[in-house]
């Protein structure tokens, strides 16, 4: 009898335990569906009921969501790490191309400008009757090429006058006429040499400034090559301390032509890197120190102040011989706005127009010189190491209007 009672008790206990387990596992299993919420004011359905049963699934719900979120949050870090891509591999020291005649070699790169500007103008001017509409088209062509309003009006006025005096026009006459007027606009009597040889001291100091992505570092690297090609020695200053990659990029350019790069700690003081670069340049007895600076948004006053500081600190050694403003020709009028802001902070002494190979807006040369009263000294015509050319008005205009 006792055995039977014992067996019954055991059976009850086991069943009870099993039942509890089942209930328990049911409780832990899936997320409770969001409680249907009938608009019953007396029993707020969104609130869980009191007790562990109600809380456990809520905990689990949160944990599940966090676990799903985690890989998402961490994935950008994983993606960011690998692609620190060196722009240029660093082989043995190269001998860069001589600079003379580079623009002539690269003139085909201006073909997009050529089609839009020069050829278009010649075609228009060759029309039998030059009526008002045609002159308006001439104006539009110039404006589209970013020549700017004022210079465009001047050019059209002079062309109209000269065409009138000329009477009948042969294509050769028209070409000569257009060439002369474009040259007047671009300016032939300006000194466009990049000043790197100050009187009675060494090194010459050049600072390169401009909005990010315009091609400062590339231009600094290409300019180092130009100087080396001309038999000068160069030290590079990586005063863009915003990104480690920026200094690497510059150093790679330097290594290709055997130029030493002075760099500071990441996020360090750009002014002190620039100062050290000139100091080392002096100690090494090199001819020129080129200082690359960070790309700055012209709206960020603090950053512009910093650029002013770089200039002031460098000038504890000696005055800057050249401050080159790098402008991306493809940004058109926007570039002019940037130019104005930079000109207020540092005295721009020369302009480098980059990416002229990728735009039909070669007229920006005229507009930007007018805007700043500073000559275009160098132009970028491609991503290649020797695709930077001294700006020569004649070769430039010839490229624009074709042979």
Ligand X SMILES: Nc1nc2c(ncn2[C@@H]2O[C@H](COP(=O)(O)OP(=O)(O)OP(=O)(O)O)[C@@H](O)[C@H]2O)c(=O)[nH]1
Provide the phi-psi class of 382: left if phi over 0, else alpha when psi is between -120 and 50, else beta: left
**Nearest residue to Mg ion, using CB?**
217
Task: Tell me: is residue 123 an annotated ligand-binding position.
Answer: no
Task: Tell me: is residue 309 an annotated ligand-binding position.
Answer: no
User: From ligand X, Mg ion, none, which one binds at residue 210 (CB under 5 to 8 Å depending on kind)?
Assistant: ligand X
The two three-digit tokens of residue 355, written as one number: 């990416």
Number of residues that bind Mg ion (CB under 5 A): 3
**Which range of residues in 183-191, 199-207, 240-248, 374-382 is near Mg ion by CB under 5 A?**
240-248
Using omega within 30 degrees of 0 as the cis cutoff, is the peptide bond preceding 203 cis? yes
CA dist 257 and 95 (Å) reads 7
User: From ligand X, Mg ion, none, which one binds at residue 94 (CB under 5 to 8 Å depending on kind)?
Assistant: none
Provide the phi-psi class of 256: left if phi over 0, else alpha when psi is between -120 and 50, else beta: alpha
**Nearest residue to ligand X, using CB?**
295
Note whether 267 and 243 are within 8 A (CB).
no
Q: What share of the chain is helix, strand, coil (3-state, %, to 5)?
A: 55, 10, 35
CA dist 123 and 384 (Å) reads 33
Note whether 179 and 401 are within 8 A (CB).
yes
Give ∠ CA 136-358-89 in degrees, rounded to 5. 170
Task: Tell me: is residue 241 an annotated ligand-binding position.
Answer: no
Is residue 217 at the binding interface for Mg ion, with CB under 5 A as the rule?
Answer: yes
User: From Mg ion, ligand X, none, which one binds at residue 358 (CB under 5 to 8 Å depending on kind)?
Assistant: ligand X
CA dist 277 and 236 (Å) reads 7
Task: Tell me: is residue 311 an annotated ligand-binding position.
Answer: no
Task: Tell me: is residue 217 an annotated ligand-binding position.
Answer: yes
Q: How far is the CB of 344 from ligand X (least distance, A)?
A: 19
Pick between residue 120 and residue 210 the one whose CB is nearest to ligand X: 210
**Which range of residues in 99-107, 137-145, 210-218, 370-378 is near Mg ion by CB under 5 A?**
210-218
User: From ligand X, Mg ion, none, which one binds at residue 212 (CB under 5 to 8 Å depending on kind)?
Assistant: ligand X
Task: Tell me: is residue 179 an annotated ligand-binding position.
Answer: no
CA dist 42 and 399 (Å) reads 85
The Cβ-side half-sphere exposure at 382, using a 13 Å CA radius, reads 14
Pick between residue 111 and residue 134 the one whose CB is nearest to ligand X: 111
Task: Tell me: is residue 295 an annotated ligand-binding position.
Answer: yes
Interacting residues toward ligand X by CB under 6 A: 210, 212-218, 240, 246, 295, 354-355, 357-358, 380-383, 387
Write down the residue that tokens 């008005």 correspond to: 393
Q: How far is the CB of 171 from ligand X (least distance, A)?
A: 32
Residues contributing to the annotated binding site for GTP: 210-217, 292-296, 354-357
Residues contributing to the annotated binding site: 210-217, 292-296, 354-357
Binding site for Mg ion (CB under 5 A): 216-217, 246
């Amino acid at each position: 009898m006792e055995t039977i009672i014992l067996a019954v008790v055991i059976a009850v206990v086991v069943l009870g335990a099993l039942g509890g387990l089942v209930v328990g596992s049911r409780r832990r299993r899936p997320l409770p569906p969001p409680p249907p919420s009938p608009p019953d004011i007396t029993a707020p359905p969104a609130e869980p009921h009191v007790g562990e049963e109600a809380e456990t699934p809520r905990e689990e719900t949160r944990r599940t969501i966090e676990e799903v979120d985690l890989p998402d949050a961490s994935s950008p870090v994983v993606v960011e790490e690998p692609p620190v891509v060196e722009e240029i591999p660093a082989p043995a020291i190269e001998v860069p191309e001589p600079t003379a005649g580079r623009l002539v070699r690269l003139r085909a790169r201006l073909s997009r400008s050529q089609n839009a500007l020069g050829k278009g103008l010649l075609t228009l001017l060759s029309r039998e009757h030059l009526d008002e509409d045609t002159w308006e088209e001439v104006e539009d062509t110039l404006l589209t090429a970013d020549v700017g309003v004022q210079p465009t009006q001047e050019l059209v006025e002079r062309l109209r006058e000269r065409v009138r005096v000329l009477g009948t026009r042969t294509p050769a006459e028209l070409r000569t006429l257009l060439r002369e007027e474009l040259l007047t606009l671009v300016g032939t009597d300006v000194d466009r040499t990049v000043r790197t040889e100050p009187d009675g001291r060494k090194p010459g100091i050049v600072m390169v400034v401009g909005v990010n992505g315009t091609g400062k570092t590339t231009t600094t690297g290409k300019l180092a090559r130009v100087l080396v090609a001309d038999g000068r020695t160069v030290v590079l200053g990586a005063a863009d301390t915003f990104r480690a990659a920026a200094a690497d990029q510059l150093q790679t350019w330097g290594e290709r032509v055997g130029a030493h790069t002075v760099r500071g700690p990441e996020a360090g003081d750009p002014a002190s890197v620039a100062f050290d670069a000139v100091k080392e340049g002096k100690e090494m007895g090199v001819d020129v120190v080129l200082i690359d600076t960070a790309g700055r948004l012209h709206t960020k006053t603090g950053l512009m102040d910093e650029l002013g500081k770089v200039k002031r600190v460098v000038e504890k050694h000696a005055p800057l011989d050249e401050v080159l403003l790098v402008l991306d020709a493809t940004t058109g009028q926007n570039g002019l706005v940037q130019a104005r802001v930079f000109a207020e902070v540092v005295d721009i002494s020369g302009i480098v127009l980059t990416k002229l190979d990728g735009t039909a807006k070669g007229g920006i040369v005229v507009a930007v010189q007018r805007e700043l009263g500073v000559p275009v000294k160098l132009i970028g015509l491609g991503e290649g190491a020797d695709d930077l050319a001294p700006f020569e008005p004649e070769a430039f205009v010839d490229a624009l209007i074709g042979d």
